[in-house]
Structure 1
């Protein structure tokens, strides 16, 4: 496939990032034929993968796992997310559930126009999210709350905020859930400053390549430096705006649909070549 509107080296770099396996392998007995790949849940994952398997012969075999699980197998398989640390070469990243995760915004507010506060909304089913809620729900500079269903009888259970409502705050918190934070992409495309603990999981967005202090503001695991970081960037808005600019430049590499399609197809082609099927 010819990629006329993208730098070939950048495309190759991304393919090698998503598919770190670089030696031939044999697909195990539980591999699935493309021709036998029927609709399965979650359906968004199915359609996102089927879209690119369409370009290959129905007698080719592949292994995959849908959902938020991030444990590693002992053979190459296709997933949405994987751990950043450790030997993750068997987990091959595809852009799955992309319409939920890959949302970008056109922010109408400049950083300096926004409220001097931090915002977060989301489900808090994981213990690390619950601990954050307990510790900071009454913080005077935090507009945070969980939107669990069914609603829980806790003071930090709140109504949802739209993305536009969240864009009115200078600082947007990103907290990983079972894997990555769904809000990370749109918050980094905004004119707000993204705050988060160093990410532990990565997807098609290549979270493992994000650099603290360049693309986002890194917080301690217990968020004990939250006030310190807010104070610093309120006092140095020009530095906040530079990080926001860098985040926009990072986002830009994912915003050409033709290039995204080409990378997905070339990645699968390499998978089938390495498995000796092409």
Structure 2
């Protein structure tokens, strides 16, 4: 059920079946970098390294949330993840139909209407180049953004479906450079499904344009484990005040589906770009 929609938000015409499930049309300004998260009522998005399937646990594998995940992927030219996300999901494929197979034909129709490739390109960011080469997502094909040392470590280990992009000789990657490289391949609409640390870097550099947040009616709690919220590795308040504008709000049962616009900005002169540490 649609609760609120910014009348000025851009809209593409979705195939009728997708529009019916979503409760209207969906679109983005281009270029656009947007992220998708599911969070518990107390703000937890990751349960810790000992619980790799955090998203599914927090969402309860709610079909409406999985549909939105699939729809956001179907709208994207590329899906961006970090190496930690890849390793935590050993059987996952970052395609629309993987999370919501019932709408596979309609997702494909949307991509044809938008003149997109059959599937979004998977982009894996890893400074270290330490990746599970046998992962089915890599076997299917991915773009690997890494350092010179990471590229050397990966040489000859990945299937020919993968493309390795060495982006510097240092021990870390500069996130704006990674995004510029992805866009140079013609990808104007990029979905981030990376974890809180990489998203913290996107927010810190002012290059995340929109956030989709599913609020799940579950309490996660915190005790002796590290349980991140949306952003990790970056402190904002009280020194830095960042706000977001609500674009839309939808409800399904006790779940809320929220969409926000962030005030994107480029780092000012003298500002050091956030870097992806070796992983």
The TM-score range, normalised by the shorter chain, is under 0.3
Structure showing greater relative contact order (alpha-carbon pairs closer than 8 Å, 6 or more residues apart): 2
Higher strand proportion (structure 1 or 2): 2
- Higher CA-based Rg: 1
Higher helix proportion (structure 1 or 2): 1
> Could you tell me the TM-score, scaled by structure 2's length?
0.24
